[in-house]
Every structure is written in C-alpha cells, then in structure tokens.
Amino acid sequence: MTAPSVLQDGAQGDVTLSYQNTGTAATAATLRYVLPNNATMIDSANATVSGSTYTWNLGDVAVTGAGSRTVTIEASGAADSSLLHTASVAGTETSDTAEATTVIGLREELALSLTAPGSVNTDAGFTASLTAQNTGNAAANATALSLTLPAGFTASALDGGTLDSAPDSAPGSQVVRWTVDLAAGASMTLSPTVTAPSAAGKAVLLAGLTATSGKTQSASAEVQVTMAASAIITAGAQFSVAEAKAGDSVTLIAGPVNVGGAASGTITNTVTLSAGLTATAFDGASWNADTRVLSWTTSSLSSRGSDPKNFTVRVEDAGALTATANSNGAEGTATMIRTFPEEVTITPEVPDSSCKISGQPVVAAAPTPPAGITLSFANTVGFTVVDCDRNPNTSYPETLTVTIDVGQDIAADAKLYKVSDAGAWAVIEDAVITGQTVTYSITDDGELDQDKTPGTLRDPVALAVPEGDASAKPVIPVPLPLWLLAALMVAVGWLGWLGFRRLSAA
C-alpha cells in the first residue's frame, strides 16, 4: 500500500493498494481497505462499503497475477496528527496485510468580511466592521489587515489601528492598518469609527488581508451618502496634542456642527472635563469649577455651519484626561494620554536573540515602599519578555541589558530595587547609576527573574533611597501592585534590538 506521507488539513490524496499472487495455484481473493477515522472517502473505486471498510471481490487471481485499486481520500485533523491506513488481501488459504501513515501538515484557511451601513447622512459617523477568520489548523501570526476609505471619508477611534494616506493610485483616500495574530480556529473583529464626507454620493470601502505566508483575502462594502433634509447637530472635541505631562497647558477645540440640509434653532453646548484637567481660558464660555463644565449657547447654525470654541486646559497630576462635548444631546469625546519622563532600552546580549517582549514596558505609579525606603521617583518600570532561547545546548540562559532613563538626575544615594511578586523590595547590587540613567542585567531564570519558566523573564524595578545599610537585604512585603498583574496580559510584540521611547500610561 502506498499513501501520501503528508497531507494538509482539508487536502486530498490517493491511496493505492497493490496485490500479487506469488503462490503456485490460482485463488479467489478479496481486497479490503479500512478508512482512518480522520479521513473522508472521496472516490472508493467502486468498492462495496460497510462502515469504514471498503471491499473489492477480485475473483480468481492467477499465479503471478497482480493488480491494484486506488482510492481518493480527504484528510482532516490537527497539525502533526496522523492517519493510519490499513488494508488486507485474502485468498482461499492465505492472506496478507499492509499499513501506511499520513501526517497532517499545517494549513492556514483565512476569510475576511466587511460590513457597513448601506446608507448614511453626510458628515455622519458610523461603524465599519472587519472580521478576519482562520479556520485552518495553523496560526496566521503577524497578519496584516487594512481598511481603505474613499476620498472624503475619515476615520477615528481606530480600534488599535494606525491611519495613513492611501497610495498614489487612490489620491485623497486614507487607510487604517492593523497587524494581528490569528490562532488556528480563531476570528477577530475590528470596528473603527468612520465619518462620511460632506458631499452626497456612492462610495465603496475596501478591506484587505495579507498573511506572512502570502495568502490574501479581500472584501468590500458599498455606502450611499445622502444629504439630510433637516438640521442634524453633532458635537466634536479634540485636543491639540495626543500626549501631555502634568503641568502642561493644552488647547481643546470643541463645539457643534450642523451636518444636515437645513438651518438649526438654538443649541445648548457643554463640555465636561475629567478630573485630570482644569480650564484656564474659556473663549467666551462659562466655567463651573465645581461641576467641571464649560457651557455656552449657539443661537443658530446654517447647514454645514459650526461653532467651535478654543479652550486652554491644564493637565493635573492625576485623573483621566478626557473632555466630553454635548450639543443638544449629541456627544463627542476627546482623550489624551498622560506621559512620564522614563525611557527604557532593552538589549539582548545575543544579536540574533529570539526574545520577544510581551506588550511594552509598563511605567506606572509606584506602590508605597516599606519603612526605611524613600522613593526617588514616583513611578516603577516593569516588563515581561518571552520566547528567549530555551535550548540548553546553545545560548540558554539568555541575558538582557536594561537601561532606564528617568529624564532627570538620579540622587547620588539612590539604589535600584527589585519589587518581587511577594511584595519584597531588595537592592539590585550590580546596577550602575550615572546621571539620569540606571543600567543593569537580568538573566533568564536568574535571581532577578520573577518568572522561572525557561524562556520567560519578568522584572519590575523602582529607584529609591535606603536608610543606612538595611536596604541591602529584602524587606517587609507590601501588597503586589495591580499594574504588574495587568502587564502579563498584554499581546506579544517583537523585541530584537528595541528602544522604547517616551512610554506613556493613561
């Protein structure tokens, strides 16, 4: 019996059963083939079927007589699983059996769909949803997804994507791009917010998928843009910058827009600031510091008209950085990220390291240290690295050099502390502090590695000033900070030689 040594999940292949009479007399013979559990018969070559057994009556097979039967099967199953083929031939007094094995290989099976409203008003926002699916038995990691918007359409709330201009072949268009990992059997839906253009007309949104294997998929959705016959008020809000530090002054632009086809009546407008922002200049609006609300009234807006206001807001030390505009019930929200001065660089000692960093280094407010230790800076820095070389015959265990730039001079008597899962603080003795940077090394499964799984490193640290010599030993545990637990759940990205600049935390 001959069978394919490898078949992809869902692929078809031929199994050939060959027989011969090597005896001294003719004999009536029967040939049988048993179909594996994880296979489907496509062509049985006219066999008689009983359950998973396929039988052929060969009649009298003469001395030296020979023949064969070929069936076509389809494989199914997980990667690296196998199909065991068994067959037998029996004569009047003799019989023989044969076996063959087929291994199921890796296969991506990708699909892409795109949905959007069939009709929207001019300047109205809507949700476009892309769904990517992998029904194969192999992961499709680092798969590129894109949504191309026709000229005049804009995108916001990108659901983790990035926005850039389309190629010269589509002038005026924009493209939202994502990179996703699709496990075997997984699906993912991305739903960016899209705003229709000011002009009526028909347009087509295009979605694309490209896997690292080269496989591609595409989808499209047609949208009819119409002009509303009445006034339609929307509210918008936008900060002048995406990130800011405590103490910075930032411009906030907010106000109503009439996207309808007729003039509006009186519009009541408010902008509510979150606790992390304070208004310092109001552009003719009223500011209520108790309710944190800016308010003003627009007497009327013509079709396509707007009434934007420019406010100056100051970023505070804590609290969310959001501003919510409300105009006659319509809402729009602006958000910013509060940044911190720390910069982190992680460098593997092995240039072709296989290490990957899980998410980004996390800069967060430091927990309260034990008695006898005073924080030099308000933040801790933590990170998780995975998939480092786990082969003990090569470079295992790997060592990483970590450099943290805190943005200002570090006190001469400061030490770098390891914060353990148990909450203990201990000095990292070999850390080198120079000016505003501190550098140290961490080895997979070494003393500083919080995760003793080979190939995974986890390391939260903080700068603080000890009292006397007590800091050289672990001190009384304090509760484990929640940010450290959250850091372990971030998606994996490539490390290699990585410099992380201007890390931020909301």
Which range scores top for mean pLDDT: 5-14, 21-30, 169-178? 21-30
Model confidence band, residue 485 (pLDDT cutoffs 50, 70, 90): very low
Q: What is the per-residue pLDDT for 358?
A: 63
pLDDT digits (tens, 9 = 90+) for 91-125: 988 999 999 999 888 777 899 999 999 999 888 89
| pLDDT, position 398 | 78
pLDDT tens per residue, range 312-368: 999 987 888 999 999 999 999 999 987 765 566 777 777 777 777 665 566 666 777
pLDDT at 486 over 50: no
| Structure confidence at residue 138 as a pLDDT band (50, 70, 90) | confident
Q: What is the pLDDT of residues 79-92, one digit of tens each?
A: 778 899 999 999 98
Helix (H) or strand (E) run with residue 465 in it: strand 457-466
Q: Identify the weakest region by mean pLDDT among 45-54, 275-284, 362-371, 401-410.
A: 362-371
Quick one: which H or E segment has residue 258?
Answer: strand 249-258
Task: Give me the pLDDT at residue 1, please.
Answer: 95
Nearest residue to 428 via CA among 419, 111, 308: 419
The structural domains of the chain, ordered by start, are 6-105 (2.60.40.10), 110-226 (2.60.40.830), 233-338 (2.60.40.290), 343-500 (no CATH)
Q: pLDDT band at 472, cuts 50/70/90?
A: very low
Q: What are phi and psi of 267, to 5 degrees?
A: -120, 125
250-280 per-position pLDDT tens digit: 999 999 999 888 889 999 999 999 999 999 9
Residues 344, 249: contact at Cβ < 8 Å? no
Percent of the chain's residues with pLDDT above 90: 48
Q: What is the pLDDT of residue 363?
A: 64
Q: What's residue 294's pLDDT?
A: 97
pLDDT of residue 468: 56
What is the CA angle 43-48-52, rounded to 5? 75
Which positions ≥6 away from 45 have C-beta within 8 Å? 56, 69, 70, 71
pLDDT bucket at 409, cuts 50 / 70 / 90: confident
Give the pLDDT band (50/70/90) at residue 145.
Answer: very high
- 426-447 per-position pLDDT tens digit: 899 889 999 988 998 888 777 7
Kindly tell me if the per-residue pLDDT of 391 is higher than 50: yes
pLDDT of residue 500: 30
Percent of the chain with pLDDT over 70: 85
What is d(CA 497, CA 350) in angstroms, rounded to the nearest whole number?
10
Question: Measured between alpha carbons, how far is 467 from 143 in angstroms, rounded to an integer?
Answer: 52
Helix (H, G, I), strand (E, B) or coil at 483: helix
8 A C-beta contact, residue 222 and residue 202: yes
Dump strand ranges (E) for 349-447: 356-358, 362-365, 373-375, 379-386, 399-405, 415-419, 425-427, 432-434, 437-443
DSSP class of 26: -
Q: What is the pLDDT of residue 502?
A: 27
Please compute the mean of the pLDDT values over residues 207-220 and round it to a whole number.
Answer: 92
**For residue 487, with 0-12 CB atoms within 10 Å meaning exposed, 13-18 middle and 19 or more buried, which class applies?**
buried
Contact 132, 182 (CB under 8 A): yes
Better-scored residue on pLDDT, 33 or 213: 33
Residue range 175-197, pLDDT digits in tens: 999 999 998 889 999 999 999 99
Quick one: average pLDDT of 494-502?
29
Does pLDDT of 288 surpass 90?
Answer: yes
- Per the model's pLDDT, the better-predicted residue between 480 and 103 turns out to be 103
pTM above 0.75, yes or no: no
Task: Please give the mean pLDDT across all residues of the chain.
Answer: 83
- Does residue 245 contact residue 337 with C-beta atoms inside 8 Å? no
What average pLDDT does the segment 212-237 reach?
Answer: 90
- The token duo for 44 is 């049985």
The predicted model gives 396-401 an average pLDDT of 78
Closest CA to 305 of 350, 345, 259, 267: 259
Predicted confidence at residue 492, as pLDDT, reads 25
Segment 461-469 mean pLDDT: 77
